[in-house]
Amino acid sequence: MNGDKLVVEAWMARRLGMPMSWDGGVTTREERRERIRAAIVNSGREMAIAGRAAGKSCETWAQLFQRVYGQPVNQQPKERTTCAE
């Protein structure tokens, strides 16, 4: 995974008030995405300003989520399939 994206994920988690061990140890990008999605939606922050990158305009949490994860924050996650032996 791109280290820059991991830094942005950690920044998002801190700003959303998630505990320092927000990732619960070793997690996949999908697990982190869903935890951050839930924090944004459950707190009603979709349209709140998340921040502004240097030289850029402000963006909402929904826009930031879209930029980082490439999908809308309000999109329902796809069902995960697991292999059962």
The pLDDT value given to residue 39: 95
Q: CB under 8 Å to 5, separation ≥6 — which residues?
A: 29, 68
Please report, in tens digits, the pLDDT of each residue of the chain (85 residues total).
467 888 888 899 999 998 766 556 667 889 889 999 999 999 999 999 999 877 889 999 999 999 999 999 997 655 544 544 4
Residue 7's pLDDT is what?
Answer: 86
Q: What's the pLDDT score for residue 43? A: 95
- Coil, strand or helix: which one is 26? coil
pLDDT at 16: 94
Domain ranges of the chain: 3-69
Say if CB 39 and CB 47 are below 8 A apart: no
